[in-house]
Amino acid sequence: MLEQQLQDGRVLVSYKSRQAELKIFENKLFRWLCVDDEQAIQSCMLLAEPAKLILPYQQFMMMWQLLRRENLPMTASLLGIGGGDIIRYLRSTFPKMNIVAVDKEPQIARIASEYFLIKPDQNQLTLQIEDAKEFIKKPHRHDLLLIDIVANNSWPNFLSEISFWQECHSSLNQNGIMVVNVIPESEEHLLNILKMLKEVFGHLPLCMGVPEHKNIVLLMPLSVKAIPSIAHLQKRCVELQRNSDLPFLQGAEILEKDSVLQRG
């Protein structure tokens, strides 16, 4: 459905960064960003509703809300800016949240600002040009840590190093949650990621396969006690779905289906 709606787009601008070719397309409904492959849509903005999340994997990255009913995050760090889809959603949905978005490519931050309505301000949104693996070593404390990094259509090597996940673990606040978008190269690759995370956090993440896509979203609270019961999950998703167009009911069904794996 979305693929059909993104037909007949004209190229607004094309850039070559240090690592990739970036193209921005637009039609009557959407503006979107492609990196290297024109079929690989990295970000997508509905022109009439810029804060609405369009890409399914990004919608599933917001399923962290199923884990938190009280003490909602006041700070969020996003590793990987892209076209700023998640930033626009968070700023609209949680207007008091302080956000730091990190990307090592200055061109990406410029594109987000010039073409995707991402306007930094001194109080609540900072765009930081820095390598994610260096940023995470700094003494920040995160309520919400969102990791959505792709380099050359694959995961950067440092995301396969246990030291990176140890730094992520250390950076989370007591009630912190880490969310990771994974496009595993193989089943073995995914199992290795889960093995590292369990070694570092002491428990497995909640795993959500995005229907009809290769993406797997990992929800990793700092404490295993934050993983809800099925009954709590069902109740929470009904509450959220009343006031949201995100697929909370579908997300809860996927989590319930995989609950045995997640609690292993």
Residue 72: CATH number of its domain? 3.40.50.150
Coil/strand/helix, residue 107? helix
Coil/strand/helix, residue 140? coil
Query: Are 41 and 72 found together in one domain?
Result: no
Query: Does residue 51 fall inside a structural domain?
Result: no
Is residue 122 over pLDDT 80? no
Contact between 251 and 237 (Cβ < 8 Å): yes
Query: Are 163 and 188 found together in one domain?
Result: yes
Query: Are 68 and 32 found together in one domain?
Result: no
Is residue 91 over pLDDT 90? yes
Mean pLDDT computed over 153-168: 88
Is residue 260 over pLDDT 50? no
Query: Are 111 and 160 found together in one domain?
Result: yes
Is residue 264 over pLDDT 50? no
pLDDT of residue 98: 95
Query: Are 221 and 126 found together in one domain?
Result: yes
Name the domain count of the chain: 2
Query: Does residue 147 fall inside a structural domain?
Result: yes
Q: Which domain holds residue 28?
A: 2-46
Query: Are 82 and 206 found together in one domain?
Result: yes
Structure tokens of 35?
């990196």
Rounded to 5°, the CA angle 117-122-127 comes to 55
Mean pLDDT computed over 223-249: 88
Mean pLDDT computed over 209-215: 90
Q: What is the mean pLDDT of the chain?
A: 89
Query: Are 20 and 108 found together in one domain?
Result: no
Q: Strands, E, within the chain: which ranges?
A: 10-16, 21-26, 30-35, 41-46, 75-79, 98-103, 125-129, 142-147, 172-182, 206-209, 216-221
Query: Are 202 and 123 found together in one domain?
Result: yes
Q: Which helix (H) or strand (E) holds 113?
A: helix 106-115
Query: Does residue 112 fall inside a structural domain?
Result: yes
Given the DSSP bridges, would you call strands 41-46 and 75-79 parallel, antiparallel or unpaired? unpaired
Residue in 95, 98, 88 with CA at minimum distance from that of residue 125: 98
Query: Are 31 and 135 found together in one domain?
Result: no
Is residue 120 over pLDDT 70? yes
Query: Are 82 and 142 found together in one domain?
Result: yes
